[in-house]
Amino acid sequence: MPELLMVNNLKTQFNTEGGVVKAVDGISYHIDEQEIIGLVGESGCGKSVSQLSVMQLIFPPGKIVGGEVIFEGRDLLKFEAHGPEMRSVRGAKIAMIFQEPMTSLNPVLTINQQLTEMLELHLGMSRQDARERAIELLGMVGIPDARSRIDDYPHQFSGGMRQRVMIAMALSCNPRILIADEPTTAVDVTTQAELLELMKDMVEQSSASLIIVTHNLGVVARYAQRIYIMYAGRIVEAGTTEDIFGDPRHPYTIGLLQCIPRLDEEKGRKLVPIEGLPPNLINMPPTCAFLPRCSDKSERCSQEPWPPLKHLQGQHYIACHNSY
């Protein structure tokens, strides 16, 4: 499968009063056509900022300071954030579903106004055609009685329904890539399962690719084909889902897998927590950011800078001095 999106050495920083926060510190990843990948990490690891950077949705004090985002042969970072080229990509060819369905819909506009805006803008549809298409889309994402509900306001929908509207909106212009940023953290488990299945089906139907950004290892185990594990602004391990779960190599990945209880395990296992706290991203030392919490460190770790990703085999990469 050819590469659809290629991100090279992307860096995004925030200039705060306390210093420079390197939220995304040189990450590279790619997604192929019709692929589902997972981007996993804890809060503050830069997973959302990296996706917002791809869409050029970073606002001051944030700044994309380096790297390239190659999509359809062009580097998106060369375009003006508010220019026509970026506008024709954002929302139309690369669409995004945000974490909070409550805050990402405009409360004073009807669902119809919000859905048809995209269709009129990107696809040049007439108002009437756009409305018909919007009703069709709402039906596709499983909103019952879409024709009578399209003129409702967001507050008239439940959380799960609002997230369905978001999915309909994101898919309205047949994007090549759908980025789902923690799409299910605000909803219940059964709704979560339903929404993820819906997203997967919709993406498969339109032969698009899906990037799932999440902290939930279970979700990526279920849906993703390849996984990137992020820590403190960098990718620390990458591989196929089988690599990551069957043969995890980075101490952080191993730690993450050991610290969550599993539904199917024998009762009585003691959880192994990762000691310490995620680092403060201001004024980070050049050494590996996971070093203070690492259970498998050597002398080399405190002397040499954070290692780049190195190739193990197949598609499996890790950034660690010790595991090989």
Binding site for another protein (CB under 8 A): 42-43, 158, 160-161, 188-194, 197, 215-219, 221-222, 241-242, 245-246, 255-257, 259-264, 267, 269-275, 277-278
Whichever of 176 and 297 has its CB closer to another protein, that residue is: 297
Report, in Å, the least distance between residue 237 CB and another protein. 14
Report, in Å, the least distance between residue 311 CB and another protein. 22
The residue count of the chain comes to 324
Report, in Å, the least distance between residue 194 CB and another protein. 6
Whichever of 45 and 94 has its CB closer to another protein, that residue is: 45
Instruction: Give CA–CA dist 56/233, Å, rounded.
Output: 17
Whichever of 66 and 278 has its CB closer to another protein, that residue is: 278
Cα dist from 215 to 7, 164, 224, 256, whole Å: 21, 21, 13, 10
Whichever of 29 and 252 has its CB closer to another protein, that residue is: 252
Report, in Å, the least distance between residue 267 CB and another protein. 5
Q: Are 281 and 23 in contact (CB under 8 A)?
A: yes
Q: How far is CA 40 from the centre of its chain?
A: 8
At 43, which amino acid appears?
Answer: S
Tokens for 262, please give them. Answer: 């599993």
Instruction: Give CA–CA dist 196/212, Å, rounded.
Output: 10
Report, in Å, the least distance between residue 126 CB and another protein. 34
Whichever of 259 and 282 has its CB closer to another protein, that residue is: 259
Burial status of residue 205 (CB atoms within 10 A of its CB: 0-12, 13-18, 19 or more): exposed
